[in-house]
Amino acid sequence: MAETTSFTETDHGAASREEGARQVRAVPRWRRGLRPYLLIVPALLLTGGILYPFGLGLYYTLFDFSASKPRPDMVGFDNYRTVFTQDAFWNSAWVTVLYAVGAAAFETVLGVAVALLLHRSSIVGRVLEKILILPLMIAPVIAAIIWKLMLQPSVGVINHLLKPFGLGGVQWTDTPTGALLSSIAVDVWVYTPFVAILALAGLRSLPTSPFEAAAVDGAGWWYTFRRLTLPMLWPYVLVAVIFRFMDSLKVFDIIYALTEGGPGDSTVVLQIRAYLEAIRFQRYSFGISYTIVLWAVVYLAAMVLVRHLGRIQNRAAEVPK
Amino acid sequence: MDMHVHDRRRFLALAAAAASAPLLTACGAGFGGDDKKNDGSAAADVTGSFDWKREKGRTVKALLNKHPYTDALIADLKTFTEKTGIKVEYDVFPEDNYFDKLTVDLSSGRASYDVFMLGAYMVWQYGPPGWLEDLGPWMRNSSATGDEWDQADFFPNLLQADQWSLKAGAPLGQGGQYALPWGWETNVVAYNTEVFNKLGLKPAESFDELRELAGVIKRKAPGAGFDGMYGIAVRGSRSWATIHPGFMTMYARNGLHDFTVTGGKLKPAMNTPEAIAFTQDWAGMVKQGGPPSWTSYTWYQCSSDLGAKKAGMLFDADTAAYFQAVQGASPASGKIAFHPGPKGPDGSLATNMWIWSLGMNARSKKKSAAWLFLQWATGKEHLRKGAITYNHIDPVRKSISQDGAYKDKMKHLEGFIDTFETVVDQTKIQFTPQEQFFDATTSWAAALQEIYGGKNAKSVLNGLASDLASKVS
């Protein structure tokens, strides 16, 4: 029985191979050659879908297209020249960078700290994990509105809570610094859990042996954190930093809902400036020029950070496991 | 293997080039708008005797802003459909998003909405690109417009506010009629009679008195049993809407202008020594007697603070106070009185206004039906019902403002009718019509915030004027 089966299988296998070879031969060479190109068609379509609006936007920036000039003249790079010579642009660029650096820095430090705490605890940690994720489930614009009410000087809960400490009269968003810090605080509230979750995932994936060895050698918590945890965790943290920095450079909703860009121009980031120019003031080409400049900044920043990430990953791989 | 790689790279390069060719071709025809103006009005197609049933069976699409006036309109739409056989479909958006929605829709060049609400300032933005139908030919065509519509019954300054020649700096009241006045607001001072009586105060007759009064209320009201009350509620958010109510009214009463027009050229005038002094005083008044967190204040906060007895006075639209003053509307209802506000140094009561108007999309495919709707919505029958039965107050028609039933309805509001009648003839748009209005006034609001924050008024306003000079030239 066993022999019969063995014979049949061998026989069947040979037949299949022969049939397979016949089938391979039956497919014309040109069709086989075409296959790889057909496979990339979806990717090409997707790329086209991304590039088309982008290219169109780029093209529009070469004109003086606005509501009052629906048949515009080509002006070359005049829009960019105007953007770069405006004080308003440099103010917005500065505010955007301050916001992005501030938000990403606070979120990284807090996110990693929270992840370290959650990693140590057990039941409490698991409960806190569920609660911490809540801000991520709220639309940023809603979060900003909630915070706007909480920061309201006379009826807001924040000043009410600060009253016993003699700090009840703070006008949070009425001063340029206050408005920027308040906006960053809302961003931190919404997105710190995102960093914490990524860092926690990283912590849980780290090998245990180096930590056990360090414990046997009597290394302290700070030494272990500095020499082992952080270098090995850094690639995960950097991924979070890249995401948060890119997103913070492109912020609109939180700031617009909280301060509308005020007081004065103190929180008018590039996205808000672009929105005002293109939608409110209907200078379409000029507004798009702002977004293209912002895109270039984000692209360059992303490139630098991703390269740095690659180097960090390689270095992390060298840490003994 | 290398050869394959090169082949694929070449293929990808060719594919990218092939993709970019139609892209750029499409780009060439990609501008959304159309600069063709409507030379021949569709109104000329309407002939014969006037008939409300002329467009029976049609559907008109309307874009509306969430507002008590809109509520009154929607509640009465059945009457319109019965009268004309025309159905009205509508979308209502909150004010925060309303104008963005309308702007994007009109600029797309589509005819998604046949009619819509707009302010007179929007005529300056939507008129020049040719998005608004000139309603003048419709008004003048007796086949399209019934006798009972009675154009002469509108307050003339309101009808003129929606009329413009589309030339920057040209006065209103000339050129096309790009919208019709439907509901409006005049900017006056409303005050809490309780706190005024208790502190022995009287409404201010000059700007100096108003500033003084605002400070006195903020200092003394909390001690007199009005916990947390401040002096005066005025708008402060970084928006054009901050400039046009109380600020522009008092600015105009002081004989000041936003721009001067010489030989058709506009020159910003927010930085004249008088304008700088006034702006500084206004910011000082807010600082001494205004609300905390003023830089986020829109009319919603101003209005609700008056109603909640948080503000002793409100310098804003009379309707913003009215909605708090009506019976049962707020803790302060029954204790809110109206006053024309401080006079200018020469006794001027020049007042800026806001008009909710109704306009027609120049690309509408149902202009005749849309015109019947506009005619009905701005007609005596609907507006009278709106004013008496609903909250469509501050009538755009003289006959309604004099109507006994309307006066009966409003008479319990102390000073409302007197104030309205005192300022109505001097109320008009105090801004210079020009396309960059929203940019200019948003930047102006930002400048006001900076001065409030302690920056030097002269340098801030000089910066504003120089920035605007390049934009409006």
A174 to chain B: which residues are within 8 Å by CB?
A: 292-295, 453
CB B364 within 8 A of CB B348: no
What per-residue confidence (pLDDT) applies to A23? 57
How far is it, in rounded angstroms, from Cα A264 to Cα B456?
Answer: 13
Packing angle between helix B246-253 and helix B273-289, nearest 10 degrees? 140
Residues of chain A in contact with residue B23, where contact means CB-CB under 8 angstroms, are 51-52, 55-56
Q: Are A67 and A286 in contact (CB under 8 A)?
A: no
Whether residue A35 is predicted with pLDDT greater than 50 in this model: the reply is yes
Interface test with A, best of B449, B456, B462, B472 (most A CBs within 10 A): B449
User: At B90, phi and psi to the nearest 5?
Assistant: -145, 155
A298 pLDDT above the threshold of 60? yes
Q: How far, in Å, are B196, B424, B428 from residue B398 at the CA level?
A: 33, 10, 15
Q: What pLDDT is stored for residue A128 in this prediction?
A: 83
pLDDT band of A130, cuts 50, 70, 90: confident
CA distances from B136 to B40, B44, B299 (A): 12, 11, 33
Classify burial at B438, counting beta carbons within 10 Å of its beta carbon; exposed 0-12, middle 13-18, buried 19 or more: buried
B217, with CB counted inside 10 A (0-12, 13-18, 19+), is: buried
Q: B452 vs A263: CB contact, 8 Å cut-off?
A: yes
> CA-CA-CA-CA torsion for A236, A239, A244, A246, nearest 10 degrees?
170
Question: Given CB atoms, is A260 within the 8 Å cutoff of chain B?
Answer: yes
Compute the Cα dihedral for B313, B314, B318, B319 and give only its sign.
negative
Please give the pLDDT value at position A80: 97
pLDDT band of residue A5 (cuts 50, 70, 90) is: very low
When comparing pLDDT for A153 and B139, which is higher? Answer: B139
CB A241 within 8 A of CB A108: yes
Contacts of B237 in chain A (CB under 8 A): 260, 262
Average pLDDT over residues A151-165: 90
The reply to whether residue A154 touches residue B292, judged by beta carbons under 8 angstroms, is yes
Residues of chain B with pLDDT under 50: 1-6, 11-29, 33-38
Q: Which of B275, B199, B189, B178 is nearest to B232 (CA)?
A: B189
Are the beta carbons of B310 and A68 separated by less than 8 Å?
no
Q: Hey, what's the torsion of the CAs at B17, B20, B21, B26, to 10 degrees? A: 170
**Residues recorded for chain A:** 321
Give every CB contact of residue A27 below 8 A, 6+ residues apart in sequence: none
Task: Chain A: give the shortest CA distance to residue B234, in Å.
Answer: 15
Smallest CA–CA distance, residue B148 to chain A, in Å, is 37
Residue of A nearest to B103 (CA): A279
Compute the distance between CA of residue A312 and CA of residue A230 in angstroms, rounded to an integer. Answer: 11
**Is residue B31 less than 8 Å (CB to CB) from chain A?**
yes
The residue-averaged pLDDT of A97-122 equals: 92
Contacts of residue B212, defined as CB under 8 A and 6 or more positions apart, other chains included, come to B204
CB contact under 8 A, A70 and B32: yes
Q: Which of A80, A75, A81 is nearest to A62 (CA)?
A: A75
Which letter does DSSP use for residue A137 in this model? G
Q: Do B293 and A56 touch (CB under 8 A)?
A: no
Q: What are φ and ψ of residue A145, in 5° steps?
A: -70, -40
Q: Is the dihedral of CA A271, A281, B360, B33 positive or negative?
A: negative
The whole-number pLDDT of residue A2 equals 40
What is the predicted pLDDT for the residue at A200? Answer: 93
Give Cα A229 to chain centroid, integer Å: 23
Note whether A173 contacts B446, CB cutoff 8 Å.
no
At residue B414, the 3 state secondary structure works out as: coil
CA–CA gap between residue B396 and residue B374 (Å, rounded): 14
Token pair of A117, please?
Answer: 């705490």
Any CB–CB contact under 8 A between A178 and chain B?
Answer: no
> What are the residues whose beta carbons fall under 8 Å from the beta carbon of A245, sequence distance 6 or more?
A100, A101, A104, A301, A305
What pLDDT sits at residue A20?
Answer: 58
Q: CB-based contact (8 Å) between B452 and chain A?
A: yes
CB atoms within 10 A of CB B454: 9
pLDDT of residue A127: 84
Longest dimension (CA), chain B: 96
CB contact under 8 A, A260 and B449: no
Measure the CA–CA gap between A278 and A269, rounded to whole angstroms: 14
Which residue from A69, A172, A262 is facing B238, i.e. has the nearest CB? Answer: A262
A72–B296 C-beta distance less than 8 A:
no
Close Cβ partners of B369 (under 8 Å, ≥ 6 residues apart): B55, B58, B59, B60, B84, B86, B114
> Which residue is associated with the tokens 């500065």?
A94
pLDDT (tens digit per residue) in B92-121: 999 888 999 999 999 888 889 999 999 999
Output the CA torsion sign for B330, B331, B337, B343: negative
- The B residues from 307 to 326 touching A (CB cutoff 8 Å) are 310
Q: Which residue, among B124, B235, B293, would best test binding to A if mutated, counting the most A CBs under 10 Å from its CB?
A: B293
**What is the Cα–Cα distance from B194 to B409, expressed in whole angstroms?**
22
Q: What are the distances in angstroms from CA B202 to CA A203, B213, B325, B339, B411?
A: 69, 9, 19, 10, 21
pLDDT of residue B198: 97
- Nearest-CA distance A318 → chain B (Å): 33
Identify the weakest region by mean pLDDT among A119-123, A245-249, B167-171: A119-123
**0.90 surpassed by complex ipTM:** no
Start-to-end CA span in chain A (Å): 52
Of A59, A260, A280, the CB nearest to B438: A280
The SS3 call for residue A122 is coil
Q: What is the dihedral of CA A77, A83, A84, A88, to 10 degrees?
A: 170
List CB contacts (< 8 A) between A68 and chain B: 128-129, 435
Give the pair of three-digit tokens for residue B413. Answer: 């509001």
Tokens of A23: 């089938």
The full DSSP string for A260-271 is: TT-STTTT--HH
Rounded to a whole number of angstroms, the distance between the first and last alpha carbons of chain B is 63
Q: Per-residue pLDDT tens for B281-331?
A: 999 999 999 998 899 999 999 999 999 999 999 999 999 999 999 989 999
Per-residue pLDDT at A6: 44
- Pick A264's closest partner by Cβ from B125, B294, B449: B449
Residue of A66, A149, A158, A281 to mutate when probing chain B, most B C-beta within 10 A: A281
Locus of tokens 């020499």:
A227
